[in-house]
Every structure is written in structure tokens, then in C-alpha cells.
């Protein structure tokens, strides 16, 4: 799971969006950081290996200016297992060959090699690494989207086409220099929260991303899972992404999940957030949703439904009530030292 943010408005965009993903990165560990902005009709991107603080120190990312932007903190199992998969070129966002379209992605595209074989003779893949003979799965998406746009489709039509072409789990965030104050989000069941006020709009993967500015927005809400979300200044338009997909109805009982979290910490002691989450799947999460373990596993692993914000919300509740302790420890993963990550324990 990666952590994402986007913004349209007049606030200092680099500091806002970098802080938004920095607040979120301790959930999963950020291996690479990227920011794309549109400044006076021109798309500019900075990205590099490392968590937010590291990339601020190694690039000019914090100096980018504009009124529209997307930011991304990358986490991938491939890089965790083999740091050769963690390179600047594999960081998000990805830019098409016209230099006007940028895309970031949360999730995993399982058929990316098949799509890559079809696209590679028509497009340059900047994320390709010869030593691992691989690309980042997400890069196929920007080229599929560009081809659909070049065929005359609207952005909404192109995103629907992209959603049907990829197999897996996804939230795509897109900006285009041709539409300098618009952010599009195409989301199938990934974490997504939107905030609006009179003259600005913002998106984050998880609510903690709004930590610095939550009280300054009039409306904060979670859009439907199977949706295309078009953000402009002070406005949101939502349409169905893929009418053929059925969205599972999941209503979490926070108290049931809280008991499962406490039981896991009692059994295992202090746990890193990812390991704690794994300890709750499928039984603890299934019980909280009132479904069987097999049903939850099907939603989670086959239909790629990721209700992670439900889980994060209960952790926050338990910390607030003094029932568990939260701390941020620095770890080394994907060849990057001092990555912040949440750990939890009983008092």
C-alpha cells in the first residue's frame, strides 16, 4: 500500500503535499517520494529514493510551485525484498512522452507484464532496470491512459478504459497540463478521503494526511469505492468507474475489531503495524464485518478490497483512549535507512 495526496488551490503546494504524505508514510514505510505539479500550464516532477525528509534533502522537491499537484510515498514488496527494485526511476508519479500527463498509483497491477509486452514497442519505459529485467507495474497505466486520450476519449472515458484493462488493486491519481486545475482519481476499493472548501480541494489516502489542515476545510468525506472523482476548485464530481463491478457492502463494528487488536498485542507483544494487520486477517477483520473468514478473504485477496482506513481508525481510537501505545520507530527497508514506521503495544 502506498500513500497519496493531491491538491488544487493557492496554498504553498510542495510543503502541503509533502507533509500530507509524510504524516501517512509511517503506516507502511515510504521507500521513495515524488511530487508532480502544474505551474502556469507546465508539468514539473521531482522524485527520488527515500522517505519524505530524505528526498527533501537530496532534491529540489520542496521548491516546486503551482496550483495543482499530486504526491506519492511508494511502498512495494519487491523493493522490501530486493532493494534493486527501489530506484529513482521507479518512484511516482510517471509522466507520459508528451510531458503533459502525470499519474500516480496505489495498489498492484497483476497483469502488468502482459500489458508491458503490448506497449513496450510503442513507448519508452523509464522505470526499466536491466539488472532485474523489470519495470514498475504502475508505469503501464500512464501509457494506456495516453493512448486512450489520443484516440479521442475524454479523461473519464480513458480512466474507465484503463480500469478495465488492468487486473488487480488500484487507485490512480492523474493531472494534465491540458487541464491545469483538475485532479482525477479512479478508485476501486482503495483508501480515499476528499476535502473541500470554497476555493480548493484536496485528497489523501488516509485521514491523517489532513492533520495540518483538517479544520480549514468545510467538508471531508469518503467517496464511493467504484468511482471516478473529478476535483476542481471547491468542487467534486463523482461518476461510476466500472458499472460491471459490484461493490461489497462492509460495515465494521469498531468494538469487535478493537478486541481483536488487543488480543493480538497480548499474544505477540509490541508489533509493527503491518505485522499487526496481518495477524487480524482474515479472522479478526471478518468478525468485525460480520462475515465469514472465507468471505473476507475473497473480498481482500480476490476482489482487492482494501478497507485500511477502517483499521487505522480503530488504532487511533485505542490510542486516544489509552488502551494501546503508539510509537514511531526508524527502520531500514528497501535499502533506505531511518524510515519511520508505527509500532503498537499494550500499556
Q: What is the pLDDT of residue 55?
A: 98
> In this predicted structure, what is the pLDDT of residue 223?
97
- ∠ CA 307-14-78, nearest 5°, is 45
Class of domain 254-345: mainly alpha
Contact present, 13 and 59 (Cβ < 8 Å): no
User: Beta 32-39 vs 42-49: how paired, if at all?
Assistant: antiparallel
> Looking at the predicted structure, is the pLDDT value of residue 249 above 90?
no
With cut-offs at 50, 70 and 90, classify the pLDDT of residue 246. confident
Residue with C-alpha cell 487511533?
316
Q: What confidence tens digit (pLDDT) does each residue in 190-222 have?
A: 999 999 999 999 999 999 999 999 999 999 999
Query: How far is the first Cα of the chain from the last one, in angstroms, to the nearest whole number?
Result: 28
Could you tell me which residues come within 8 angstroms of residue 154 by beta carbon, excluding any fewer than 6 positions away? none
The full set of domain ranges for the chain reads 3-240, 254-345
pLDDT for residue 303: 85
Residue pointed to by grid coordinates 514539473:
44
Answer whether 170's CB lies under 8 Å from 188's CB.
yes
Helices (H), the chain: 13-25, 52-58, 77-81, 112-119, 139-150, 155-165, 254-268, 273-279, 283-289, 293-297, 308-320
Q: What percent of the chain has pLDDT over 70?
A: 100
Looking at CATH, the fold of the domain delimited by 3-240 is given as: 3.60.20
Amino acid at each position: 500500500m502506498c500513500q497519496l495526496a493531491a491538491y488544487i488551490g493557492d496554498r504553498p503546494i510542495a510543503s502541503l503535499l509533502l507533509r500530507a504524505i509524510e504524516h501517512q508514510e509511517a503506516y507502511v514505510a515510504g521507500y521513495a517520494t515524488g511530487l508532480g505539479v502544474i505551474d502556469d500550464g507546465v508539468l514539473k516532477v521531482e522524485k527520488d529514493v527515500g522517505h519524505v525528509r530524505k528526498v527533501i534533502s537530496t532534491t529540489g522537491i520542496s521548491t516546486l510551485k503551482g496550483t495543482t499537484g499530486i504526491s506519492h510515498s511508494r511502498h512495494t514488496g519487491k523493493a522490501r525484498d530486493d532493494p534493486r527494485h527501489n530506484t529513482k526511476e521507479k518512484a511516482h508519479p510517471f509522466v507520459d512522452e508528451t510531458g503533459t500527463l502525470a499519474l500516480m498509483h496505489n495498489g498492484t497491477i497483476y497483469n502488468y507484464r502482459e500489458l508491458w509486452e503490448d506497449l513496450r514497442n510503442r513507448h519508452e519505459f523509464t522505470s526499466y532496470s536491466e539488472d532485474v529485467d523489470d519495470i514498475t507495474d504502475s508505469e503501464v497505466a500512464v501509457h494506456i491512459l495516453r493512448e486512450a486520450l489520443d484516440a479521442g476519449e475524454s479523461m473519464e472515458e480513458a480512466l474507465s478504459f484503463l480500469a478495465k484493462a488492468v487486473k488487480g488493486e488500484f487507485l490512480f491519481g492523474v493531472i494534465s497540463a491540458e487541464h491545469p486545475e483538475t485532479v482525477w482519481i479512479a478508485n476501486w476499493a482503495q483508501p480515499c478521503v476528499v476535502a473541500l472548501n470554497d476555493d480548493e480541494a484536496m485528497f489523501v489516502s488516509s485521514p491523517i494526511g489532513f492533520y495540518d489542515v483538517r479544520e480549514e476545510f468545510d467538508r471531508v468525506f469518503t467517496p464511493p469505492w467504484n468511482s471516478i472523482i473529478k476535483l476542481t476548485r471547491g468542487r467534486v464530481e463523482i461518476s461510476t468507474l466500472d458499472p460491471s463491478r459490484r461493490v461489497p457492502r462492509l460495515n465494521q463494528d469498531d468494538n469487535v475489531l478493537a478486541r481483536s487488536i488487543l488480543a493480538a498485542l497480548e499474544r505477540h507483544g509490541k508489533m509493527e503495524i503491518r505485522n499487526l494487520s496481518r495477524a487480524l486477517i482474515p479472522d479478526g477483520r471478518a468478525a468485525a464485518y460480520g462475515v465469514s473468514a472465507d468471505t473476507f478473504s475473497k473480498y481482500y485477496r480476490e476482489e482487492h478490497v482494501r478497507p485500511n482506513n477502517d483499521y487505522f481508525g480503530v488504532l487511533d481510537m485505542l490510542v486516544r483512549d489509552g488502551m494501546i501505545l503508539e510509537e514511531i520507530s526508524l527502520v531500514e527497508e528497501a535499502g533506505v535507512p531511518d524510515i519511520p514506521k508505527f509500532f503498537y503495544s499494550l500499556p
